[in-house]
Amino acid sequence: MKLTGAQVLCQSLIEEGVEVIFGYPGGVVLPLYDTLPQYPQLRHILVRHEQGAAHAADGYARVTGKVGVCLATSGPGATNLVTGVANAFLDSSPVVAITGQVARHLIGRDAFQEIDITGITLPMTKHNYLVLDTGLLARTVKEAFHLARTGRPGPILIDIPRDVFEEKVEFHYPSQVDLPGYKPTVTGNPLQIKRAARLIAEAEKPLILAGRGIMISGACEELAALARAQQIPVVTTLLGIGCFPEGDELSFGMLGMHGMAYANMAVSQADLIIAIGMRFDDRATGRVNGFAPNARIVHIDIDPAEIGKNVRVDLPIVGDVGAVLKVLNKQLEPAKNMAWFRQLDDWRRKHPLDTDGEGDVLLPQYVIEKIDEVTKGEATIVTGVGQNQMWSAQHYCYNRPNSLVSSGGLGTMGFELPAALGAKIGRPQDTVWCIAGDGGFQMTLQELGTIAQEQAAVKVAILNNGYLGMVRQWQEMFYGKRYVATPITCPDFTKIAEAYCIPALNVKTREEVVPAIKKAMAEPGPFLINFQVEPEENVYPMVAPGAALDEVIEKPKKGGS
């Protein structure tokens, strides 16, 4: 039987196990929207801005491990997706973005709402397609999902002209893809793994640097087995948080610009770094030529192009980190590095994160700690970008994979609310807290409308400091305290929430914090709390831009000299 292109697309999405589409309609995708009701298995969630659709698909993908799907019309719909696609690209998130395009005979004529979205997204997608032959649509969808979720995941964009949605073709969903130019290396080179085992056996101060690749690969157990059998301390990247329980005594927190002082010291003192599923981002490494000066570096990653890109590597192993770790673990004798562990433990005791405020001041760190307490560390935390993000990373104790969702590579303000929506839709049984900055929240707060319409029980905590806080902090530290364009006014967020029929509270003092969080948790639907926090609180520890990881600035001691 012949199906229209729109039906072919829907059938193909169902074949790929898609259950949710975050989208926004428009002219050229009308034939597709008109077809959607024939496929009630595909739940369409109407966002309020296409950027929100892409972030929601991204958040959905990160917590479920499935491919997230977003949909937009041509022209402005497609360009509105771009930030979200770029965000998914830099954080290796499997997203398939579908855009409508003007009809084939109009392409290249600057038709109404025509824009070259495949050209625009070329450098920020793993691959993209413009479907000019309806007969190839099913195969394209098959390839897109395969590319999005395998190897190093990433966003794929499929641009579909209006008349392709309408043309009838024979539907046949291919069972396999044929991509001769795409063959990710899964198994690691056995010889290299053997060498890694030898380096580990010889090391006196080994350290694991764990990234999100571990969670993407589903290798958290293998990682834990490696760390525990060898007693190797684990430090994570920002996006690696959750791949190893932070409550474990072998967990030494996050490294990098706002990493724990002891984590950064460990990197600087280690004699062997085992970097797994991470990519040596400059926010993580600090000044590259001061990075891990005493260590040999083993780098395990599925993307060969990451090896040696930013940091010299002594022993590369290209492969799926789970597959590599399984083989590696078998080759290792249990070992203990007690002196090294004691050293790190001692640093950890001497450099705790400081959360004390004087008197009544409400510190943002305190808010995060209380959310941790009330949710027993079991919530999924979706953050904005800036100070709120760093405090969320530092002060919540993550013990579950993918329990922190944050825009790492692109650092996209406004990610938090739509991504939290996506996370809640993806894992409705989880408690999802969106930790927002007052600046970032104002970038995408219209998604409160989507949250209200879907009755998605997202709990929103705004850390309202009246500033674009992270930028203000840099101005304070590096630009003579000249606060240019960083003081920001806010509407009454509780009134905004109430206008969307979302209950909300203002919190100004410490005493109110826990009751407010409990109230939010007791509410079956969404809830918003505006925490009026200390305006000029800074994020510490900090490694200044251009400094090496061992040049840590810690929080100035109160009343100190």
Partner 1 sequence: MAATKHTLVALVADRPGVLNRMASLFRRRGFNIDSITEGHSEIPNLSRMTIVVDGTATMVEQVRKQLDKIVDVIKVTDITGPDIIARELALFKVKAAPANRSEIMQIVDIFRAGIVDVSQNSVIVEATGDEEKIDSLYELLRGFGIKEMARTGRVALSRGGPPAEKPSVRKKKKN
Instruction: Give the count of residues interacting with Mg ion (CB under 5 A).
Output: 6
Establish if 364 lies at the interface with Mg ion (CB under 5 A).
no
Given candidates 133, 179, 204, 536, which one binds partner 1 under the rule CB under 8 A? 179
Given candidates 16, 438, 454, 537, which one binds Mg ion under the rule CB under 5 A? 438
CA angle 447, 450, 452 (to 5 degrees): 110
Buried b / exposed e along 25-52 (16+ C-beta atoms within 10 A): bbebbbbbbebbeebeebebbebbbbbb
Establish if 122 lies at the interface with partner 1 (CB under 8 A).
yes
Establish if 476 lies at the interface with partner 1 (CB under 8 A).
no
- Tokens 């002891």 correspond to what residue? 262
Environment class of 2 (CB within 10 Å of its CB; exposed 0-12, middle 13-18, buried 19+):
exposed
179 binds, among partner 1, ligand TPP, Mg ion, none (CB under 5 to 8 A by kind): partner 1
Of 241-249, 316-324, 392-400, 434-442, the window that binds Mg ion (rule: CB under 5 A) is 434-442
471 binds, among Mg ion, ligand TPP, partner 1, none (CB under 5 to 8 A by kind): ligand TPP
Do 59 and 118 form a contact (C-beta atoms < 8 A)?
A: no
CA torsion, points 466, 471, 475, 477, in degrees to nearest 10?
100
Residue with smaller CB distance to Mg ion, 74 or 486: 486
Of 44-52, 179-187, 208-216, 520-528, the window that binds partner 1 (rule: CB under 8 A) is 179-187
Environment class of 487 (CB within 10 Å of its CB; exposed 0-12, middle 13-18, buried 19+):
exposed
Least separation in angstroms between CB 83 and partner 1: 17
Other Cβ atoms within 10 Å of 365 Cβ, number? 25
Least separation in angstroms between CB 528 and Mg ion: 16
CA torsion, points 302, 305, 310, 316, in degrees to nearest 10?
50
Do 382 and 394 form a contact (C-beta atoms < 8 A)?
A: no
Establish if 126 lies at the interface with partner 1 (CB under 8 A).
yes
Of 196-204, 301-309, 324-332, 380-388, the window that binds partner 1 (rule: CB under 8 A) is 301-309
Residue with smaller CB distance to partner 1, 107 or 544: 107
Chain residues that interact with ligand TPP, rule: CB under 6 A: 384-388, 411-414, 437-440, 463, 465, 467-471
Best CA proximity match to 189, nearest among 66, 39, 299: 299
Residue with smaller CB distance to Mg ion, 469 or 526: 469
Establish if 384 lies at the interface with Mg ion (CB under 5 A).
no
Establish if 303 lies at the interface with partner 1 (CB under 8 A).
yes
Given candidates 92, 125, 465, 473, which one binds Mg ion under the rule CB under 5 A? 465
The three state secondary structure string of 102-169 is CCHHHCCCCCCCCCCHHHHCHHHCCEEEECCCHHHHHHHHHHHHHHHHCCCCCCEEEEEEHHHHHCEE
Least separation in angstroms between CB 389 and ligand TPP: 7
Best CA proximity match to 72, nearest among 95, 89, 55, 50: 50
Least separation in angstroms between CB 558 and partner 1: 47
Establish if 286 lies at the interface with Mg ion (CB under 5 A).
no
CA angle 66, 72, 77 (to 5 degrees): 135
Residue with smaller CB distance to Mg ion, 245 or 386: 386
Establish if 437 lies at the interface with Mg ion (CB under 5 A).
yes
In three-state secondary structure terms, 393 is helix
Least separation in angstroms between CB 217 and partner 1: 18
Q: Taking CB under 8 A as the rule, which mask of x and - marks residues 156-175 in contact with partner 1?
A: -------------------x
Do 226 and 242 form a contact (C-beta atoms < 8 A)?
A: no
Residues that bind partner 1 (CB under 8 A): 118-119, 122-123, 126-127, 147, 175-176, 178-182, 303-305, 307-309
